[in-house]
Structure 1
Amino acid sequence: MGIFRRSSDAPAPYVEAIARFWEWWPQARRRLDEGVPADIADEMSAHVEAMHADLEWEIGPGPSLTVSGGGVDELRGIAERWRLGAPGDDNWKYRAARPADPAMLTGKLQLDDHEFDLDYVRMGLRADSSRARVDVAAYHPDFLFVPEETQLALTHRVLDWALGEDDVARWIGEVTTAEEEPMDALPASMLPPVVEQIAAPFGEPAWLVGEGRTPLGHAARVAVRFPLHRQDYPLCDLYVAVTLPYASANPDRLPVEPSASTLRRFEEAVEAMGPRAVLAAHETGDGRRVLHVYADPDSGVVAELDQLAAAWSEGRAKVTSQSDPAWSALAPYRP
């Protein structure tokens, strides 16, 4: 029999705030269609902050409305749920992450008391194929006159305009600033082709496999899906651990047939759940395999996993779950 712990049935605090936003939005949209009322920004901020204090919003051409977590993993799901509540009967575009806007890279940006001419932004880029990341060192001649906080604010704004917020989160690694132009620095407009080059080998996720020893001294094996991006599964805020004992093992207590095939069939059942869940990693050793899964908590995945575990024939399976929108449980496995 599978054992499972479900999250509380109480709705998350942002659920009601999202509903209130979309109740308010039709009259706000009508006012915006006629111009930009002086009080609309305060009203919008109040409604967005009710969903989460750290969410950001902006109105753009199109017309469009973006409510964004600013690249913060734990906010991505809230923004996506807000977007899914949008009406489908108007001419507005609704986004849960800032899109790329390369036309902005040749304009000017006012931050604090300083105006930056973005034509002078240069970036030192270091592609790391082992991490599938591009590290960035940004330079602007005016960095000499502003604090580091302002330098980083400009850098992140430029990165969003060059790639879009989700691709920044997917492919950009360490971000620093420089007071002298890096060697072989490029304009920000050249960042997309560099990212395309680093991303090209990873059209389909693969598995990275490592070996070690368990606390009992037996062989252990860890497999991690790579690359795995939070932005590709925005609704998967729930961490689920599935522990499967297996009956057939070699002297190192690693699985052999027929258990190896039975374990694989269980994994295939998880993978068949599509975007509702993603098998992120698994650990094997000492006669058990632990699957690390992220799931959409509103999709019924936990109940399905419990049914699969209840049918497990090689021992007592266990399913536990907890909210983890930042995917922090994966931190030990990230390259």
Structure 2
Amino acid sequence: MTDAALDSADCRIGVRAGHSIIHVTVWHPQWGSAKTAALRAGLFGAAVSPDAASSDGDATPDVAVARQLLEDALGVPTVATWIGSIKVTDHSPEHAVSMADLGIRVDRMASSAKDPDGNPTHTELRMEVDGADATVRTIVPLAPTVAPGHDRHVAVTLHIDPFRSTDLTGAQVRSTVLALEDALSATVRENHAGLLVAVVHQEGAGTGQPGAGLDGVGRQDAVTLHYYLGVGAGDGVVDLDHLLNSLRATVSTWEIGEASLDDEVDPTWSAVQRYRV
């Protein structure tokens, strides 16, 4: 718990909406220098005396304390799922909101991030991945709280060789990628073993040759499918090693480039955190 003198309800929070999460800058009236006394008095009245707000009595803004204040107010799972970067400041941020208002915003995001069946929705963004332009499709929210117990990260990477795919149109290449994705996802789904959380299409350098790459132009485009496997509550027994062998057999059927499957234990979903923006 935080220091009893710090009430999370007193926080003023700067909010910057990300693509699927909220980044925050936290200020508490007991953080900062004596010059903030007038602002404190204006916000909280007699609850904070300007005379008591000397620099000697003020606490230093601390990210760990800010996180604890957020977790006390919103709950640990909510912060882990919906809050991105956490910064602190010694003065009230511009256009700041209260902790209660932040909670309302988070609740609104959470309610809109489910399809009619209660499953996570998806979002798509453009970003640079390892020096290449990429299109990234992820579930929302992209966080382990979506699937507790699913901590085995499986990354399937499919390379698209322009020479092997020269007889295919861009649409045919896309269909080939989607067919393998569907086959892998069906295997995971049938075993009740996890979910596909992100698909990353990295674009290769252009060649101008038709049929080379997902868009008809490109060299060695790559598509990476990120799965998280495991056993959740009520899922029963899942033989992950057997499942991985089945997935490897499916990946081995890829014919228009190199393909690989790598797996690792990753309980924090660190492998896909870069796409959580």
Instruction: Answer yes or no: is 1:327 the counterpart of 2:238.
Output: no
Distance (whole Å) between structure 2 residues aligned to residue 245 and residue 199 of structure 1: 35
Distance (whole Å) between structure 2 residues aligned to residue 119 and residue 212 of structure 1: 37
How far apart are residue 206 of structure 1 and its match?
0.8
Distance (whole Å) between structure 2 residues aligned to residue 213 and residue 185 of structure 1: 33
Aligned residues: 220
Query: SS of the counterpart of 2:79?
Result: helix
Equivalent positions of 1:124-163 (< 5 A) are 124-141=13-30, 143-144=32-33, 145-148=57-60, 151-163=62-74
Match of 1:296 in 2: 230
Equivalent positions of 1:144-293 (< 5 A) are 144=33, 145-148=57-60, 151-203=62-114, 204-208=120-124, 210=126, 222-244=136-158, 250=168, 255-257=173-175, 259-270=176-187, 272=189, 276-284=193-201, 286=220, 289-293=223-227
Match of 2:12 in 1: 123
How far apart are residue 220 of structure 1 and its match?
6.7
Which amino acid in 1 is paired with 2:92?
E
- Report if the CA contact (8 A) 2:136-2:199 is conserved: yes
Match of 2:117 in 1: none
Distance (whole Å) between structure 1 residues aligned to residue 127 and residue 26 of structure 2: 35
- Residues 254, 162 of structure 1: alpha-carbon distance in 2 compared, 3 angstrom cutoff: farther
Among all aligned residue pairs of Structure 1 and Structure 2, give the percentage whose two residues are the same amino acid.
21
- Report if the CA contact (8 A) 1:238-1:295 is conserved: yes
Distance (whole Å) between structure 1 residues aligned to residue 66 and residue 157 of structure 2: 43
User: Could you tell me the TM-score, scaled by structure 2's length?
Assistant: 0.61
Distance (whole Å) between structure 2 residues aligned to residue 117 and residue 207 of structure 1: 37
Equivalent positions of 1:5-154 (< 5 A) are 111=3, 115-116=4-5, 118=7, 121-141=10-30, 143-144=32-33, 145-148=57-60, 151-154=62-65
225-234 or 183-192, which deviates more? 183-192
Distance (whole Å) between structure 2 residues aligned to residue 117 and residue 287 of structure 1: 52
Greater fraction helix: 1
CA RMSD of aligned residues (A): 4.0
How far apart are residue 228 of structure 1 and its match?
1.0
Structure 1 residue runs without a partner (length 5+): 1-108
Structure 2 residue runs without a partner (length 5+): 34-56, 115-119, 202-212, 214-219, 232-236
Which amino acid in 1 is paired with 2:261?
V
How far apart are residue 128 of structure 1 and its match?
0.6
- Report if the CA contact (8 A) 1:255-1:287 is conserved: no
